[in-house]
């Protein structure tokens, strides 16, 4: 374990409509942190008031004191209290002040798995794009492919619809539904 100060940077994803709740949660976390042995300071940074990303920095005298905080029941309770409120996106640990200005003596980056909306929300998004597109393609292709065997008609339909779904329809629908898709349980 390092005997030099260690700084932790954590990025959390927050829905702007939950900002007041998250601000209260963050203050509670800072209050808990401030009583930990070796605590040197902390703070939250937001790029702008509507940003989905919040960055927390906190600093401990050494890695041993940080490890005590990370294993503490207070931290466990605090993290659990944010379930559905914030999403843990990225974490970095750097030793010494040089870690934020020059080449760090050590860096540990912990990536969390990318957030995926629940399957039922994915299903709704795909249906919103696929049903009208499939209906339109069937209507437009029917005069040309009507007498063809079913497997060949389906092949042509899929060959036409799949690229449109992949490159146009689904990106449009997921952008339009993004706040709903990323919203956690209330």
- Per-residue pLDDT of 97-156, as tens digits, reads 444 444 445 545 555 555 678 889 889 999 999 999 999 999 999 999 989 999 999 999
Q: Can you say whether residue 62 is alpha, beta or left, with left for phi > 0 and alpha for psi between -120 and 50 degrees? A: beta
Distance of alpha carbon 8 from alpha carbon 14, whole angstroms: 19
Single pTM value for the model: 0.51
Domain boundaries, the chain: 6-111, 119-182
Most distant CA pair in the chain, distance? 79
Q: Where are the beta strands (DSSP E) in the chain?
A: 6-13, 39-45, 53-60, 87-95, 107-111
- Specify the CATH number for 6-111; select among 3.30.70.100, 3.20.20.100, 3.10.580.10, 3.40.50.970: 3.30.70.100
The edge-to-edge listing of strands for the beta sheet with 6-13 is: 39-45, 53-60, 6-13, 87-95, 107-111
């Amino acid at each position: 374990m390092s005997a030099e100060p260690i700084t932790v940077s954590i990025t959390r994803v927050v829905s702007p409509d939950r900002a007041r709740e998250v601000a209260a949660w963050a203050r509670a976390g800072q209050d808990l942190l401030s009583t930990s042995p070796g605590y040197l300071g902390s703070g939250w940074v937001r790029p702008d008031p509507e940003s989905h990303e919040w960055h927390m920095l906190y600093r401990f005298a050494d890695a041993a004191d940080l490890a005590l905080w990370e294993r503490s029941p207070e931290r466990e309770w605090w993290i659990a209290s944010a379930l559905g409120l914030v999403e843990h996106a990225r974490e970095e640990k750097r030793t010494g002040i040089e870690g934020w200005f020059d080449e760090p003596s050590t860096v540990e980056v912990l990536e969390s798995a990318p957030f995926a909306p629940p399957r039922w929300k994915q299903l709704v998004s795909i249906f919103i794009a696929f049903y009208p597109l499939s209906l339109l393609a069937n209507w437009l292709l029917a005069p040309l492919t009507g007498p063809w065997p079913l497997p060949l008609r389906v092949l042509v339909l899929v060959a036409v619809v799949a690229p449109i779904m992949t490159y146009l329809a689904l990106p449009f629908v997921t952008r339009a539904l993004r706040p709903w898709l990323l919203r956690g349980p209330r």
